[in-house]
Chains A and B, each alone.
Chain A
Amino acid sequence: MEEFHIKKMIKSNSGIRKTDVINRRMFIIGAAKVVVFAGIIARLFSLQINENKKYLTLSDKNRIREWKLPPTRGNIVDYFGNVIAGNLKVYQLHIIPEQVENFNYLLVRLKNLLNLSDKKIVRINRLKEELKPWDSIIVSENLTWSQFVKINNYLYDLVGVKPVMTISRNYPFNDIYTHVLGYVSQPNEEEILNNQIIQERFVPGMKIGKLGLEKRLENHLIGTNAIQRYEVNAYGKRINQLEHQKGQQGSKIRLTLDTEIQKACGELLNEKAGSISVMDIYTGDIIAMYSSPSYNPNLFLFGISQDEWQLIRNNPLKPLINKTLSGLYSPGSTIKPIVALSALENNVVDTKFKVKCTGKMELYGQTFHCWKEKGHGWVSLKNAMKQSCDTYFYEVSRLLGVDRLNITAEKFGLGKKVLGEYFDNEKKGLFPNTKWKKNNLGKGWVLGETLITGIGQGYIQSTPLQLCMMTAQIANGGYAIKPKIIVDSSPISYEDAKQSMESGLLFDSNSDALLDKKLFKDKKNIKIIQEAMFSSTNERFGTSYKSRIDDPKYQFAGKTGTAQVKRISKRERELDLELEQIPYKDRDHALYVAYGPYINPRYALSIIVEHGGSGSKAAAPIAKKLFKLIIDRHELRNKQSNFERITI
């Protein structure tokens, strides 16, 4: 009984002890739980409160994706505000693969509707494999309106097809401005990498300038991307649009060029190879700059076809070359005003100095021919210029020497780039001197070379624009000008222009310094040259007398030039062939430089017709036709105002 009682005590004792153990152990666990929960709350606090900003940013980065749209290029306008490089709405056709029910059926339908080539179908299929199913495939970049209408009519049957309207570059005057503007096309990798701005704004389908001003002014024209912000899911699929930020169109660029004159140049040089440049002799504004033949830049926008490209590339008249800036020609007799001026300035000759022309000149056993076989007889400076007597200029340049001639010529802009900062394909030409020959050819100068340099043959090479600028600087009274093609100053009257030029003010709005722009030592000498050029065009026996205009409003002064492209053999000289009898490649280049109106002059021009024959027959008549238009346009030009200045 006793024993049992004790046993029972122990037993119940054991139960109580067990409960105690369990409770004690539970207490330890309970304390641990509080600590662990506190730790988890601390972690939550650090993530959600302390680092909330960081994770919010990361979350937005996750869900918001930006899509850049191609920027809209700035317009390029002519002096009168006509758009010469603009933007056009184009109609495109996109396919969004994930919305297409039956891809093959759709392709068959599209093939029939748009006459797609098999090659194109293969390409679309390849794109479909490469792209994400919600990325659109561009089937056609440029649908015609009728194709666009057709697609829209059949849209119910073309599930997954999206007709899109977008903007593309457009050159409304086709080939008229090609050599000035260049064109735009898809950039290659190198072009993207080399230009920070293009790199930032690049989107597939964007076009950049490939040539000319489109290329040079890329950073001004390009514009900024429109940005669309979309919410995307984890797979990159767009869920909804959050924001549309408009892009800014690129800067509008206004050129000094006049479309009417530019067009006239194109017509006058139709089917000829050559170039015309027209320049304001005071402001340096280039009024026209046309290289013939040209080509249509619109062909390059959506990728030029191989056939069309071959046609342009293989044209013997070389449309791809900008002859105005990159064409190098012997100036021929158009250099004579500079030779005469140099001789006067260096007091080598005066107006009374005369040379007897017998049709040729002998020097160290070599014969130098005048173009007129019978000779001009005794000629003074004025007559020599008027009739372009070669013998006179042989003698004058012999007396002058090539080095002194070189100094004058370079002052007037020969051998230097005219618009170098705008066109990287411009050539600087060459006006030789003794030092040049020694350094470059390693031989001493020969006097005979001075003689032929004096009539614009031999080593001498110039671009049509250089000749135009040279003429402009003679026409304005012998003051340096800085030619430009982008408008940066308001038009000015003749009086103001002349006055400020003579006071030494450069028409360069970018530099405020008053520089000495005088290119002459004695103003009289410039006048003598101007008069000589006047007589060449407006007096009987002048080389361009037939192309004169008597009306003083349009009257101009000029100088013809005929540049040999190969040495004339004795036999050929005796034959005296007509132009048509000589192979095209061997025919002389015809040149003409002129300025007008003779009273209160304003414009200078240079014309070159490749292999056109003589300057008086092929080039000067073009000037006659052009001058009327140029002078008539002058009044309109003077009325233009509101100039936005653009600093390039």
Chain B
Amino acid sequence: MFQHNRLNNEITLIQKIKNLDYILLISVIVLSVISVFVMYSTDGGEALFHTKNHFVKLAAFFPLMIFVAFFNIKFWHNISYIIYFIVILLLIYVSFFGIKSSGSQRWMDVYFFVLQPSELMKIAIIMCLSKYYHRLKIENVNSFTSITIVLSVILIPTILVVSQPDLGTSILIALSGLIILWLGGVKIKYFIYSFFTFLISLPFIISFLKPYQKLRILTFLDPDRDPLGAGYQIIQSKIAIGSGGLNGKGFLKGTQSYLDFLPEKHTDFIFTLFSEEFGFIGSVGLLILYSIIIFRIVRIGSISRSNFARLFCFGYAFAIFIYIVVNLSMVLGLLPIVGSPLPIMSYGGSSMLATMIGFGIVLSAKINNKQIIA
């Protein structure tokens, strides 16, 4: 153990750079380049506001990712709880003093950009629970105390985010937390019981939903009931994707987005535009790129010696996966519309910041994969 510690301390900057995962890095760079071009297309073939901002954020957060990667994984392990509490405090702060926009209060101004703490919580909760399960004895995993603590850790931020209101992000936070629970070894029957309890209480939950949220569910079940109102987004999104065909309409030639038929084309519906312009081949290509990223993260987790790194990588890989699935299912009309961005591709600083920090920690795990954390 001592030996390892010493070994670890001897890692030089050059070794760190050597140890970076280049497949993951290149995949992220390719994805970033694609995202800039797609953003350029949403601006109607001009480098306007969204394109410039997106590029600036990429240029700022990509070095940040490398910076994060150069910290020892042990450091991230050590400050996991602190980060979680800071983000909780930020969430409480925005629920009182946050910037209001289109009916919800989830942002805060931090000089150079507007921060959405709930996006950071997506990473913080994975870090926090990874550390918890790393330290928890396997015998205690299914103990009442530990499950209560873990559920509280998940529920507090989820409730804070739901009340903003932001259903989409809160679901993603809850799912990110639950996956660590799963990986940590909580009994499968608990998951099955909870799932059935959830199903049974679903009507009850629905009765608590806000009218616009109920409307979204109704619209999901039958988008044609109000094609110009609530169903408009999903119908137009399906038209855009469907009309893309095998090869797509070509870069900058997506009529649906160019002529403003697509709502929220910069953020949640960015895939729709991509799919319209690059078709089935492009879409599958993008999915493959995401799959490579997810696979690399899982691989890094599986070669990590510490369970913290392993749990974080597996958890983060799942989180990325779930972001993609929720976003794509939404734009493809498979799920009701809940606001959820597509990692890296969607316009939005906080989401990109959180994603890049996540990648950074994963890279840190790769660099320090021999590191054992007590």
- Interface residues of A, Cβ cutoff 8 Å to B: 14-15, 17-19, 21-23, 25-26, 29-30, 33, 36-37, 40-41, 43-45, 47-49, 51-52, 54-56, 58-59, 62-63, 231-235, 239
Contact = CB atoms under 8 A, between A and B. Distances in A.
28 contacts: A21-B184, A22-B183, A23-B302, A25-B183, A26-B301, A29-B179, A29-B182, A29-B314, A30-B298, A33-B318, A33-B321, A37-B325, A40-B328, A44-B275, A44-B284, A44-B332, A48-B241, A48-B283, A49-B245, A52-B245, A55-B238, A55-B239, A56-B242, A59-B243, A62-B236, A231-B255, A233-B259, A233-B261
Contact of A43 (B244, B321, B334): B334
A63 B291 CA distance: 35
Interface in B271-307: 275, 279-280, 283-284, 287, 291, 294, 298, 301-302, 307
Given A29-B179, A30-B298, A43-B332, A19 B307 contact: yes
Nearest to B232: A234
Contact of B259 (A23, A43, A56, A234): A234
B63 interface: no
B275 A56 contact: no
Contacts of A234: 259-261
Contact of A22 (B242, B283, B311, B321): B311
B259 A45 contact: no
A22 B259 contact: no
Contacts of B287: 37, 40-41
A7 to B, nearest CB: 13
- The 4 A-B pairs of least Cβ separation, nearest first, read A55-B242, A59-B243, A234-B260, A21-B185
Contacts of A41: 284, 287
B23 interface: no
B183 A26 contact: yes
B334 A22 contact: no
Contacts of B137: 14
A487 to B, nearest CB: 52
B138 to A, nearest CB: 5
At the interface, is chain B mostly helix, strand, loop or mixed?
A: helix
Contacts of B328: 40
Interface centre among A22, A23, A235 (most CB of B within 10 A): A22
Given A25-B183, A58-B239, A63-B261, 20 more contacts: A14-B137, A21-B138, A21-B185, A36-B321, A37-B325, A40-B332, A41-B284, A43-B334, A44-B275, A48-B246, A49-B246, A49-B280, A52-B244, A52-B245, A55-B239, A56-B245, A58-B242, A62-B259, A233-B259, A233-B261
A614 to B, nearest CB: 76
Interface residues of B, number: 46
A14 B311 CA distance: 16
A26 B256 contact: no
Contacts of B244: 48, 52
Interface centre among A14, A26, A231, A235 (most CB of B within 10 A): A26
Contacts of B239: 55, 58-59, 62
Contacts of A43: 332, 334
A42 B333 CA distance: 13
A80 B260 CA distance: 57
A52 B311 contact: no
B329 interface: yes
Contact of B310 (A22, A54, A56): A22
B108 interface: no
A233 B260 contact: yes
B68 interface: no
B154 interface: no
Contacts of A15: 307
B361 interface: no
Interface centre among B239, B243, B302 (most CB of A within 10 A): B243
Contacts of A49: 245-246, 280
B184 A44 contact: no
Given A22-B307, A59-B256, A239-B259, A52 B243 contact: yes
A38 to B, nearest CB: 10
B240 interface: yes
A166 B227 CA distance: 38
Contacts of A239: 259
Contact of B242 (A21, A30, A47, A231): A47
Contacts of B280: 44-45, 48-49
Nearest to B281: A48
A63 B314 contact: no
A59 B236 CA distance: 8
B180 to A, nearest CB: 10
A26 to B, nearest CB: 5
A424 to B, nearest CB: 45
B182 A25 contact: yes
A59 B314 contact: no
Given A44-B280, A48-B241, A48-B244, A36 B260 contact: no
A54 B239 CA distance: 9
Given A40-B287, A49-B280, A54 B329 contact: no
Contact of A58 (B243, B279, B283, B321): B243
B241 A26 contact: no
Contact of B241 (A18, A23, A36, A47): A47
Contacts of A37: 287, 291, 325
Interface string B138-149: 110000000000
Contacts of B139: 14
Given A14-B137, A52-B245, A40 B260 contact: no
A47 B261 contact: no
B318 A29 contact: yes
B42 to A, nearest CB: 14
B275 A48 contact: yes
A534 to B, nearest CB: 81
B257 to A, nearest CB: 10
A36 B239 CA distance: 23
B282 to A, nearest CB: 10
Nearest to A55: B242
Interface string B229-257: 00000001011111111100000000110
Contacts of B138: 14, 17-18, 21
B246 A52 contact: yes
A17 B318 CA distance: 22
Contact of A52 (B242, B284, B291): B242
A229 to B, nearest CB: 14
A623 to B, nearest CB: 71
A56 B243 contact: yes
B117 to A, nearest CB: 27
Nearest to A54: B242
Contacts of A18: 133, 138, 185, 307
A22 B314 contact: yes
Nearest to A50: B242
A62 to B, nearest CB: 6
Contacts of B179: 29
Contact of A40 (B242, B243, B245, B325): B325
Given A23-B302, A25-B183, A233-B260, A48 B242 contact: yes
Contacts of B242: 47-48, 51-52, 54-56, 58-59
A43 B329 CA distance: 9
A54 B179 CA distance: 39
B249 to A, nearest CB: 9
A44 B294 contact: no
A101 B260 CA distance: 25
Contacts of B243: 52, 55-56, 58-59
B274 to A, nearest CB: 11
A15 B372 CA distance: 11
Contacts of B329: 40
A52 B184 CA distance: 44
Interface in B163-187: 179, 182-185
Contacts of A40: 287, 325, 328-329, 332, 334
B41 to A, nearest CB: 16
A22 B261 contact: no
